[in-house]
Structure 1
Amino acid sequence: MRLRRPVALLGSILLSGSLFQLALPVGSAAADGAAGSTIYVGTTAGDVCSDTAAGRGSQQTPYCTPQSAVDAAQPGQTVQIASGQYKGELDVTHSGEPGAPITITHGDNWGLRSGAAWINYEGAQGIVLTGVHDVVVRGLSMLTTGDAVQLTDSSDVTVENTWMQHTSPAAGNAATGIAVGGGSSAVTLAHDWVTGYGNAGVAVGGAATDGAATGTTVTGSVLLGNGAGIVATDAPGARVVGNTLATNCGSALVLGGGSSGALIENNIASRDGVSSSAAVAGSGCLPATAAGAPELNVSADSAPGSSLDYNLVFPQAGSPAYRWNGVDYPTAAALTVGTTEGTHDLNSDPQLTAGTVGTAGTPAATSPAVDSADANAPGETPLALNNLPRVDVPGTPNTGTGSGYVDRGAIEVQDPFAITSVTPSEVQGPAPLAVTLTAAVSNPWGSPVSYHYDFGDGSQPVDSSSASVDHTYATARPFSSYEVTVTANLPFGAVRTAYTSVAVEQPGPLTPSMLLGDDQVDRPLSVYANLEATTSPWPVSDVRLDYGDGTGAHDLGTALYGTYDYQKPGTYLVTATITDRGGRTAQVSQLVTAGNQYVPLHPARVLDTRSGTGAPKAAVGPGGVVRLKVAGAGGIPAHGAAAVTLNVTETGATRSSYLSAYPGGTSRPTVSNLNFGVGQTTQNQVTVPIGADGTVSLYNASGQVQVIADVQGYYTSVNDGSVPQGSYFEATGPTRVLDTRQGGSGHVKVGPGQGTVVHVGLDSYTRAALLHVTATGATAGTYITAYATGTARPDTSILNVGAGQTVSNLVSAPVDADGDVTLYNHSGSVDLIVDLAGWYSTVAVPSSSYIPLAPTRVLDTVDGTGAAKAKVGPGATLRLKVAGLHGVPANATAVLVNLTGTGPTAATYVTAYADGGTRPTSSSLNLTPGATVPNLALVPIGADGDIALYNHSGSVDLIADVQGYFG
């Protein structure tokens, strides 16, 4: 397929020209200085450039614009332009002197390879030189809508190592890359890159009235994707040597008018240009460059004295390779027979590759352009484009002149040698540290290579023919690595460089560290182990994690982070065994709890023996057990729930008694959840594991009693999508969030049939709140209901209050999207006090998984269980050890306990809190003289593993039954 306009190539070229910001070159000089001094253009870190201030043009106060600096430049001075974007045409109107030119530069190579100094990157013309001599333009970059460089009546001007591109495809403009006008002489264009100009990449001379442009040299340049490559009219003595003229719409080279005495050597001239295997497409050409134009076209007036040889010419299909003196020649052989020119010309695919600036148009190693040029051609440069050395490709015959291995075209095929990496035998270790540095190389040509090793520690560098050397770092550098530089020097002067670093630490021990936590919100049994805080002067060489569930050690290699999914909830001892490169091994162990997440539900009644809901319509007799099916009821899934949270209420008792809640199908524990007297109505929250048969059991000790149970939520560790995503618990205090006794706006008794809204949510991730709700001062018998604000009020209750009573209960209440809960009062007026114990959130927090336990009595001051056999006196605090006992592990952070107060001698309240912490101004139990009152409480555990129970007034016996723990 014929490839025409290189749109894709031009796009990649343009994109490669990122605008880097580089530091100004070293050195300083004042403006208007002596010959040989430097005038600076750009902005410093302090942004103090000036075109008018005293001292302008120095490195400390550079000019802001290239134009101001060029206007001030004197013969022998250099205008050094820093990286930046400079809009507007740059006009050069005064000259240097022979041997002392004015030099306008960004660097020795074009800007795109080291950052860019962009001249007129948005305007029409780029640089305009009018009537000047002895001027050098070097290493700049230009994006223009008109000509990039215009020279008129100028001599001894050099434009080199400069990149220029038109902002529109060549088919859409009539601009010229470099225009050398008539009346100019001794102009040199060297190692330039010109693309996208619709008239020509380079145009030399002009109409007869403009006069001739004599002695122009175009050498070592790449002209891609222009209307034509080089068009010379009345340009006697032109030298066109060592250029790559490819993918241009028309001829690669046209010598017209009186362009006699020209030299055309070592060029690659190809209409298709880039090998047919490269993905480069065209976009059409201007009508004047229609098919049929020859690649090299020398007119009758230009042929006298002109010579042509050592070119690689690959014409468009259907077009002649040459037109000499008006006669077309399809091949070099035909041209030689007809004219004696082109004796060493070749006519085959140059095998040019696609790429970006500096690489597009590079011949393949098998290209006929390789090692076949005339090194002695006048104007041929000792270095190729990008200042790359001339290279002898092994296995390719040296058919050129001179050295024999100069390539045709602008781009010299380079040794593909590469340093792919440099690896130290030890990347880290204690001082003194012996290291072997090994460079991994790719050397398809088998070139002899000399390596230069700079170890970065101030020691003497080492030169070697080996890709591996030894070095000992004597001194530690604790907070910074030594930077190693390996330089490979190739024949013909090519250089390859690679880097690595070595960390040299102070000697010290291997000190392991492990942080355990929840891995992902939707994987409640997943745990992560983070060992990154482990310290050692040596790097870690092996990590093994035993997750404590009997599966043995898991080898992490050198990774300091591991994740794991347990098969069932529990608390496990995780042990990490860490080995470092110094051969030392150490262990660290820590408990982790992989537990259940809480799923809050809209309150629902699942049991009422008064109406036959969930059980027969009959009071529960002495020793009676209600087997309540909760799996599949009240929003609880049929499978996957580990424990259920219920608000259990008893009413109408004929004798003093108690209720016990426990998993269905298991033995009844010797604990109680509700203690009540004759005729009382008492409630308490219970969180109880669900039996294997999906039931929980409720046992009544004595007399007859009606039992009601309302679902508040459930716990689960299932993460297979069969149940909703659960929430993690985050303890907060308790913190008081409502007290209607205070009076004022929003703080008044709640009237009959009214609700009050309590804001308890932390953020949009909050799903429920754990609240301790107290009702007091009721003017009539009533009940309180809690539910998410904005949802339908359920037919359930959390508190049943008699006139003048003070009653409290722990409640797991769902919240709305704003984090609000509504508390509804049925009858009379009542004061409500709410203490926030914590949130249930879908954001994982440390120590927030729940493990239910078989209820266990841990305290009874009546019989001396867990403490002295004595009532707790007024203002006294009882400290109770819970962590590490009764199934509660040492890493537990909070326990769920059923607290019961009995036999108080005065009205009082009991507060449960973490031992060692500040006692909160809230209550866990509210007691009247002689009453027996239970209440479920979530109590944080102190650092010593204890909880504290404070009694305010009188004396009281306390009983505590552990239901589960958070860890």
Structure 2
Amino acid sequence: MRPTRTTVLLTAGLVTLLGVPAVAAAENPTDLHVNNQSGSNCSDTGAGTQAVPYCTISAAARAVLPGQTVRIKPGWTYDEAVTIDRSGAPGKPISFVAEEGWDGQQADLGELLTVRGASHVVLGSLFTRGGVQISGSTDVGMDRIRAARGRLDGVVVDGASKDVRIGRSNLVGVRIEGGSQGTVLSRNLISGSAQPGVTAVDAPGTVVTNNTVRGYCATGVSVGGASTGSGLFNNVIATEARSSYCKTDEPRNAILVEQSATAGTVVDYNLVTGVPSAPVQMPYRWAGTTYPDPAAFHAATGQGGHDILTAGQAGVGPVEGSPTVDSADPTAPGVLPSDINRKPTGDDPSVPNTGKNGGYLDRGAYETHDGLSQAWMNIDKTWAPAGTKVEVQAVSDSRWPTAMSYHVDFGDGTAPVVTQQGTGAHGLATHAYGKPGDYVIKVTAVNGAGQQATTQQTTKVTPAGPLTAAFSATPFLPAPNDTATRVPPLTMSFDPSASATPWPVERTDVDFGDGVQRSFPGLAIGKYTYSRPGDYTATVTVVDVKGTRSTTTRPVHVEYAKGGYTAVTPFRLKDTRVNGGTLQGGSPASIGMPIPFNAAGSASGGMSAAVINVTLTNVTQDAYLNVSSAYDDRPTTSNINARAGATVSNTVTVPVSEIGQVWFYLNAGRADVIVDFVGYYQPNAGEKFSPVAPARLADTRTPGAGGAVAGGTTRTVKVAGVGGIPADAKAVAVNLTSTEATQNSYVVAYPDPAKRPEPASNLNPEPGKAKSNQAIVPVGPDGTITLYNHAGSAHLIVDAVGYYGKNGKALYTPVVPKRLADTRTTGKLAAGATTTVSGVPAGAVGAVLNLTATESTGAGFLTAHAFGSARPEASSLQTLPGLTVSNHVTTPVADGRISVYNSQWGGPNHVIADLLGYFTQG
């Protein structure tokens, strides 16, 4: 059959309708740019480059040349009436195209767009609020246009225009008149209102194909005057006759062809419908006669033999079961290969192809599609030994599963397995891998229209062989400078990933060697916190999905990790005089350290040891206090010894328990306890420590030192940049001594003289007694610390023993308190004599001791210093006749040994040295 002239014209202009034709790079002139958005640097007097675009479309319309494209930036409205009166050339049209955004945003024109007396023009992705008028023009293509003009037609073609093609657009009313010829409307959504959706008057050869037209209160498509040789094909045409919406309630025709336009005009394969509550009453009017249905229409005129009439719009359109699906004429003039949403023609396999010659084009502007967007797979064995058959089940969200095929690439270089089309909703593929490895399986789902969706998943292929358990046990430490995550000390990671596992592992059972067993899923790394350091024998059993078991054991060494120190301004954690909880002899009591979930404050979730100042008061009988991390496994050491009625303080460095607690055990009687938090040690955080030979930084007894510190006053002491302590030290470890006190008092050491912590204390002076206590104090302004005396007056002595800072050399390792020396088994240390304390771990450069003098016969002092070094003038502990006195001591170490000197005038003493921890090079 010879094609009609309209078909030939449409085919010739089809590429132009769908987009700007491609030309050779050498022939393609530079594009012009229009951008009126803020910051675009636009100018209507420039050349329209991308760097300096035009501000208006009109400026580009005056400058555009054949073959050029005017690229319009969407965004702000172009509030201008645009007239295009320049022409392109055959194969080199002038084009005005918006650069669509991700959501299909179009350039917005606020006024009328006119093409007048021009030829070879393309318009694309434009929104014209003032409508479009094409007058006296030839070969004009419009694609992806939105056009509206109030109650007037949104698009008007007149002035004897020729070969105007409008496709894939959203239009409010189209009017073709004035002798215009060969106008083609295809795949548009067209709405009428007071006027018909489409009106052709004196417009021969008008083609209206595959449009969805809503006539509402007027005729859907009206063809009149000398519009002979026109065609209406594959359209969905709806009209409205409800008085609640329309001014009048008379019947509306969906298709109206006047007598003067019937010659050569063809109507077929349309669907005519109304709204659900108001069916079309008179769908056809041909040459002045109305027809109630397609049968009557066809019988009388020979037209509409394949038309469909439905009662209402429900179920009509791109939905399952719609009569529009696969029922159109694919050979009709004006047919486009894609719909209004740019989706290609799709064949619904569940619907018979009732279109002409068995075609599957849909009627209307929309094409029903599969909707394929996702694919999934299920691998029956994501972990198996080499040689095992692996089965992949592929599925997708296709609505047309019988037209699907699945391409399964197993990722090992073998050819993909392709399931046959028509296999149903899923495809099955099997494969056996030849060698171990991790392989990525990729599934591509392909529907009948060629659309694709992909997914991928990794499968593990293991060596064939027996299940063999293996594991590593390593310390689990806080991440660098992480103070928020709770990581208890003595936490170990048990990693069974080194096990030989031909089949997936169901679980891993771990016996940690301390009476605790736990199970972990698969080969998950298990974390476990021991209550005490030591050597344990751990047993790991791996169980796979086949029920096979393999067990292995190995020794696990658990110890505290070394860490840096973070000093804080002291704050009070507990005072049983205020909060209750007086210590009872023989009954351990716990106090929570300020880890992040502890209400007492916030320090760190990863601290391994806390530094606290502990004060006993209201002691009812002679007793000692032991501070440890465990409730029922206390070391045979003590931290404070107190007589009945006394108030005694000592600094304590103690590991914290798994839940951040420290336990206090009073051996006899009752006593109130006061606990002030002064800092903490943590792996991978804090400052390093450097011990120094004890050096006296202040002694108020010396001339010019200001004399005794009066009650309620402070004394500032320079600590950084003196006594071997560098100027940039962050904190200092000092031994504080009070003497010649006039009444019972307390002394606080703190960094900022303007911010004295309250309540807090470091030392409790008493009349007639020289008392010592060690403190670790953050360095304040100008490298100083401040001392506050609460009551009476007292002389204060400050001896430096070390510092913490970025130039520090050593990190701290806590230990379960261990007794290194006790002269009660060897005899008293004579006045003026020195004893050697051994047993500090090899490599230590410093140690933290609890040093105790007991059975003293006179007032004197003890001084601890590195073995083999010169004895300093500073003191570590003040001895008192008849009293047992303890002090927290930080001292340098040499060759694992410490020297302890007993002053000449204090008389002989028994000396006890308990190790709390030690420093090694970090």
Whether TM exceeds 0.5 here: the answer is yes
How far is 1:226 from its partner? 8.4
Give distance in 2, aligned partners of 1:749 and 1:254.
Answer: 113
Give the one of 444, 454, 464 matched to 1:498.
Answer: 454
Give distance in 1, aligned partners of 2:400 and 2:581.
Answer: 90
Give distance in 1, aligned partners of 2:135 and 2:118.
Answer: 8
Which residue in the other structure is 2:211 paired with?
243
Which residue identity is paired with 1:899? L
Identity of counterpart residues, as a percentage? 21
Which residue in the other structure is 1:279 paired with?
none
Which residue in the other structure is 2:323 paired with?
368
Give distance in 2, aligned partners of 1:795 and 1:387.
Answer: 77
1:669-680 alignment, distance < 5 Å: 671-674=637-640
Indicate how the Cα distance of structure 1 residues 404 and 961 shifts in structure 2: closer, same or farther if over 3 A, else same.
same
8 A Cα contact 1:219 1:380, kept in partner? yes
Which residue in the other structure is 2:310 paired with?
348
Give the one of 81, 96, 109 matched to 2:88.
Answer: 96
Indicate how the Cα distance of structure 1 residues 103 and 143 shifts in structure 2: closer, same or farther if over 3 A, else same.
closer
8 A Cα contact 2:85 2:116, kept in partner? yes
Which residue in the other structure is 1:217 paired with?
184
Give distance in 2, aligned partners of 1:861 and 1:383.
Answer: 100
How far is 1:684 from its partner? 3.0
1:845-864 alignment, distance < 5 Å: 857-860=819-822, 863=825
How far is 1:614 from its partner? 6.5
Bigger drift between 666-675 and 254-263 goes to 666-675
1:809-820 alignment, distance < 5 Å: 809=774
Which residue in the other structure is 2:521 paired with?
556
8 A Cα contact 2:715 2:787, kept in partner? yes
Residue 280 (structure 2) pairs with residue 320 (structure 1): yes
Which residue identity is paired with 1:379? G
8 A Cα contact 1:671 1:857, kept in partner? yes
How far is 1:187 from its partner? 0.8
8 A Cα contact 1:294 1:319, kept in partner? no
8 A Cα contact 1:268 1:350, kept in partner? no
Residue 268 (structure 2) pairs with residue 309 (structure 1): yes
Give distance in 1, aligned partners of 2:791 and 2:838.
Answer: 38
How far is 1:378 from its partner? 1.8
How far is 1:216 from its partner? 1.4
How far is 1:63 from its partner? 6.8
Bigger drift between 897-906 and 305-314 goes to 897-906
Residue 118 (structure 2) pairs with residue 157 (structure 1): no
Give the one of 648, 666, 672 matched to 1:697.
Answer: 666
Which residue identity is paired with 1:364? V
Indicate how the Cα distance of structure 1 residues 449 and 675 shifts in structure 2: closer, same or farther if over 3 A, else same.
closer
Give distance in 2, aligned partners of 1:25 and 1:538.
Answer: 61
Structure 1, residues 708-743: CA drift from partner, whole Å, max 9, x if none? 63332799xxxxxxxxxx99998656699xx99499
Which residue identity is paired with 2:451? V
Runs of 5+ consecutive residues of structure 1 not aligned to the other structure:
1-23, 195-199, 274-283, 354-360, 616-624, 701-706, 716-725, 759-768, 814-819, 840-846, 884-893, 916-920
8 A Cα contact 1:214 1:238, kept in partner? yes
Give distance in 2, aligned partners of 1:748 and 1:183.
Answer: 115
SS at match of 1:899: strand
Give the one of 180, 194, 197 matched to 2:157.
Answer: 180
Residue 225 (structure 2) pairs with residue 267 (structure 1): no
8 A Cα contact 2:847 2:915, kept in partner? yes
Give distance in 2, aligned partners of 1:307 and 1:528.
Answer: 86
Which residue in the other structure is 2:674 paired with?
711
TM-score, normalisation: structure 2: 0.62
How far is 1:263 from its partner? 1.8
Which residue in the other structure is 2:424 paired with?
none
Which residue in the other structure is 1:294 paired with?
252
How far is 1:159 from its partner? 1.7
Give distance in 2, aligned partners of 1:613 and 1:381.
Answer: 88
Which residue identity is paired with 1:79? T
Which residue in the other structure is 2:912 paired with?
959
Indicate how the Cα distance of structure 1 residues 229 and 221 shifts in structure 2: closer, same or farther if over 3 A, else same.
farther
Give distance in 2, aligned partners of 1:98 and 1:287.
Answer: 47
1:824-863 alignment, distance < 5 Å: 824-828=789-793, 830-831=795-796, 857-860=819-822, 863=825
Give the one of 100, 110, 120 matched to 2:107.
Answer: 120
8 A Cα contact 1:182 1:205, kept in partner? no
Which residue in the other structure is 1:356 paired with?
none
Indicate how the Cα distance of structure 1 residues 953 and 632 shifts in structure 2: closer, same or farther if over 3 A, else same.
closer
How far is 1:659 from its partner? 3.5
Indicate how the Cα distance of structure 1 residues 405 and 808 shifts in structure 2: closer, same or farther if over 3 A, else same.
same
Which residue identity is paired with 1:130? R
How far is 1:647 from its partner? 1.1
Indicate how the Cα distance of structure 1 residues 601 and 776 shifts in structure 2: closer, same or farther if over 3 A, else same.
closer
Which residue identity is paired with 2:912? I
Which residue in the other structure is 1:14 paired with?
none
Give distance in 2, aligned partners of 1:345 and 1:181.
Answer: 30
Which residue identity is paired with 1:159? M
1:619-698 alignment, distance < 5 Å: 646-648=614-616, 659=624, 661=626, 671-674=637-640, 682-684=648-650, 696-698=665-667
- CA RMSD, Structure 1 to Structure 2 (Å): 7.3
Which residue identity is paired with 2:274? P
Give distance in 2, aligned partners of 1:250 and 1:849.
Answer: 92
Structure 1, residues 299-345: CA drift from partner, whole Å, max 9, x if none? 64775334432222221233635252666655444545665543322
Which residue in the other structure is 2:476 paired with?
516
Which residue identity is paired with 1:709? D
Indicate how the Cα distance of structure 1 residues 512 and 25 shifts in structure 2: closer, same or farther if over 3 A, else same.
farther
How far is 1:420 from its partner? 0.9
8 A Cα contact 1:540 1:578, kept in partner? no
Give distance in 2, aligned partners of 1:219 and 1:362.
Answer: 16
Which residue identity is paired with 2:711? P
TM-score, normalisation: structure 1: 0.60
8 A Cα contact 1:38 1:80, kept in partner? no
Give the one of 841, 846, 851 matched to 1:899.
Answer: 851
Give distance in 2, aligned partners of 1:812 and 1:55.
Answer: 72
8 A Cα contact 1:741 1:747, kept in partner? no
Residue 769 (structure 2) pairs with residue 800 (structure 1): no
Give the one of 394, 419, 438 matched to 2:349.
Answer: 394
Which residue identity is paired with 2:456? T
Which residue in the other structure is 2:876 paired with?
925
SS at match of 1:800: coil
SS at match of 2:616: strand
Indicate how the Cα distance of structure 1 residues 695 and 448 shifts in structure 2: closer, same or farther if over 3 A, else same.
closer
8 A Cα contact 2:714 2:786, kept in partner? no
8 A Cα contact 2:851 2:912, kept in partner? yes
SS at match of 1:186: strand
Give distance in 1, aligned partners of 2:799 and 2:525.
Answer: 42
